[in-house]
Chain A
Amino acid sequence: MKIEDIKKEFPIFNNKVQNNDLVYLDSANSSQKPLVVVDRIYDFYTKEFSNVGRSVHYLAVAATNLYENTRTSVQKYINAKDKNEIVFTKGATEAINLVASTFGQKYLKEGDEVLLTELEHHSNYVPWHYLRKSKGIKIQFADVNENGEVTLESIEKKITQKTKIIAITHLSNVTGAILPVKEITQLAHSKGIPVLIDGCQSAPHLKLDMQDLDCDFYAISCHKMYGPTGLGILYAKKKWLEELPPYQGGGGMIGEVKKEGITYGDLPNKFEAGTMATAQVIAFNESIKFLNKIGIDKIVKHENELMEYGQELLRKNNSVKLIGNPKNKGAVLSFTIDGIHPHDIATILDEDGVAIRAGHHCCQILHEKLDLVATARASLGVYNTKEDLDQLNSSINKCKKIFE
């Protein structure tokens, strides 16, 4: 598929937003959906619906096969060793909660340390905070530097004898910094520490290879990856999924249930209790096919070009200040404008159909560190174009005029 044809695959762009063409620059928050994904949900519900993994009738068998096909597609897409290392969750948030809760329950005790970074999204802090409350663990934060990056050295500095797990973002949703996660994992493993990577922002934009990365856990948000909402993925090495206790109890995750005791099901069922987001899982296979059809290398190149183009535009624009200047950067442009609050910027840009996000982007720790109450953020997706960024820039100029 040619880059210039991508936008046509997303029906949302056929609509006008307040009489304007939609300039969607909020993909770090959630991405738009290609028609193939929307159609797949409709087709499944109208022609093929059944619950999976339970009944033996025709529809149930077919639906189960479709459901498992997605698991295999995800395994291949992220190059996991085993398809049973892919666990479906209701989101990346649940994936991280699953690890924090079960890992904490089995391995953490008072005084143990969990190492995060100052870049983390609340969903990779709050689940660990629960363990601070319930188990008396300590949470350490690796420092972010003036470029908005977290380096291998800053991680190393915070590792102690008591560090039991390192949980870090792959790509910051505010500064766009891409962390040296492979090197961090190597360092951690040399000290016997497992690593969880929050891959929400990286999964839609970077090439993923779990075996090369060698991390222990990787959390993915499907709705940021041109897929449906209500679905996330936890990749975990098989040994962890075997060792960790189940997260939730219910149907589908059991082996034998007797009055005197219960055994749990095989992987990955052990971690998929209750009826799962079946239609979403099946439709997510279309998201992966869609990404494969374009090719991740092409996506990386396209988004990099756009990011650099946008960065140049905003750098040249007086009174606009870009937040963070990481060497290795994803397609996120966070900025402030002197004298205009980000919420006012977002509302004024919206009038032109330009959708950005304003606020702390679920990263209050980082904003406090940067001494900012809020930032405006334009984040890119595969469908964006240079024209979108030109429109962003001219709407920013309009905004400046209003506040002159």
Chain B
Amino acid sequence: MNLKELYQEIILDHGKNPRNLRKTDNFNKDAKGHNPLCGDKVHIFLKLNENKKIEDISFEGQGCAISMASASIMTDLIKGKEEKEVKEIINDFLEMIKEKDSLNTKLLEEDEKTKLMCLSGVKQYPMRVKCATLSWHTLISAIDKSQNEINIESKEI
């Protein structure tokens, strides 16, 4: 295990100064996520336009450096994408965190992928994987609006 791989500069930076940590005005979709194990909480707000494109995304919440950085990076990358594209990116990220060595989606630029890959350090810390995935599962929930509040403990990852 290597601590430096987990707490890379990008993670520490996004953890300390999370981007999009606010509440979107006139959001039309939102969802809350909670990890009861460590108490991490996230609330994601989306503003989709009539073409189902994400005009704005933001989040509120508190948590460890990993979960804050993950939400911060995610919201940065997702802004401007279409709903269908967002789902592909989420799936690609969750598969990478679970088992794959790389990201395969063509919807992200190389430098964006590099940023996301910084989160792959959690793979070596099974107890911390949920920190990295909480905001992503919550984003799915916001898009689908299937559940009001997702509980990461009842999810597979």
Question: What is A's interface to B at a CB cutoff of 8 Å?
Answer: 18, 339-344, 347-348, 351, 358-360, 364, 367, 373-374, 402-403
Contact = CB atoms under 8 A, between A and B. Distances in A.
A344 B121 CA distance: 13
Contact of A351 (B3, B66, B128): B3
A348 B65 CA distance: 12
B40 A347 contact: no
Contacts of B131: 343
B38 A359 contact: yes
Given A341-B63, A341-B65, A344-B65, A402 B38 contact: no
From DSSP, what is the main secondary structure of chain B's interface residues?
Answer: mixed
B12 interface: yes
B3 A359 contact: no
A347 B125 contact: yes
Interface string B12-41: 100010000000000000000000111111
Interface residues of B, number: 20
Given A343-B131, A347-B6, A347-B125, A403 B39 contact: no
A351 B39 CA distance: 23
Given A343-B66, A347-B6, A359-B38, 20 more contacts: A18-B1, A339-B16, A340-B65, A341-B64, A341-B65, A343-B64, A344-B7, A344-B64, A347-B125, A351-B1, A351-B3, A358-B38, A359-B39, A360-B38, A373-B38, A373-B41, A373-B63, A374-B38, A402-B7, A403-B16
Nearest 5 pairs of A and B residues by beta carbon? A373-B39, A341-B64, A343-B64, A351-B3, A374-B39
A65 B146 CA distance: 59
A373 B7 contact: no
B39 A360 contact: yes
A367 B39 contact: yes
Interface in B115-148: 125, 128, 131
Contacts of B38: 341-343, 358-360, 373-374
Contacts of A358: 38
A348 B7 contact: yes
B114 interface: no
B41 A344 contact: no
Contacts of A360: 38-39
A367 B12 CA distance: 26
16 contacts: A341-B64, A341-B65, A342-B38, A342-B64, A343-B128, A343-B131, A344-B7, A344-B65, A351-B1, A359-B37, A359-B38, A373-B39, A373-B41, A373-B63, A374-B38, A402-B3
A394 to B, nearest CB: 15
B62 interface: yes
Contacts of B3: 347-348, 351, 402
A340 B1 CA distance: 21
A359 B128 CA distance: 12
B152 to A, nearest CB: 13
A26 to B, nearest CB: 13
Contacts of B36: 364
A373 B1 contact: no
Contacts of A347: 3, 6, 125, 128
Nearest to A403: B12
A373 B40 contact: yes
Contacts of B40: 373
B121 to A, nearest CB: 10
Contacts of A18: 1
Contacts of A373: 38-41, 62-63
